[in-house]
Amino acid sequence: MLAEIDHALRTVGSASTGGSAPSPADAAPEAELDAAEQRHAAGLMRVNHSGEVCAQALYRGQALTAKSAATRADMTAAAREEEDHLDWCQQRLDELDAHPSRLNPLWYAASFALGAGAGLVGDRLGLGFVAATEDQVCEHLRDHLERLPAQDARSRALVTRMLADEAAHAHRARRAGALTFPGPVQAAMTLTSRLMTALSYRG
């Protein structure tokens, strides 16, 4: 439990969580952005950073309560992979002279509770939340690729790589037996996701 508290504090405190892979943005040149474009790019990257905070909490919460050792190992591995995304988003926010969302502690706590609760009910339900959440993340990332300034190659390279990774996580959860949620549940998750996105974009 102390290890989980430490990880949560480092995640919401913008400290490195241990990700070590080089950022996909490193190979792209920095673009000249005007003030409005920089604020917009920063807002979108802040949303992505908050999404990675939620992913950390969801995976680690489910790993804590998963019924099977295989699911626990999968969730732990996925959380480790998401650490790279979290660090990449923080790096890009720093480059854009922007801060993470001040609501990240709330997002982390809610997502951890959701993951832990789903894990207690059963692995299929927990995997279902993972798959549905990753679907929401992919939808946001595709939207961000449309909305990011065309010349912001660094942010675009980062979002493109994250999109591929998140889609792979959703596929892996379904392959492991994820429960498919009915339409009303998916609609409620979409509404919640949009609320989080709007609040995180503004700071």
What domains does the chain contain, in order, with CATH numbers?
A: 33-202 (1.20.1260.10)
User: Phi and psi dihedrals of 101, rounded to 5?
Assistant: -65, 135
pLDDT in tens, the chain (203 residues): 777 777 777 777 765 555 568 899 999 999 999 999 999 999 999 999 999 999 888 888 988 888 888 888 888 888 888 889 999 999 999 999 999 999 999 999 999 998 888 888 888 888 888 888 889 889 999 999 999 999 999 999 999 999 999 999 899 888 888 888 888 888 888 888 888 888 999 88
Sequence-separated contacts (24+) of 72-76 with Cβ below 8 Å = 74/172, 74/176, 75/126, 75/130
Length of the chain, in residues: 203
pTM: 0.88
Closest CA to 17 of 64, 44, 49: 49
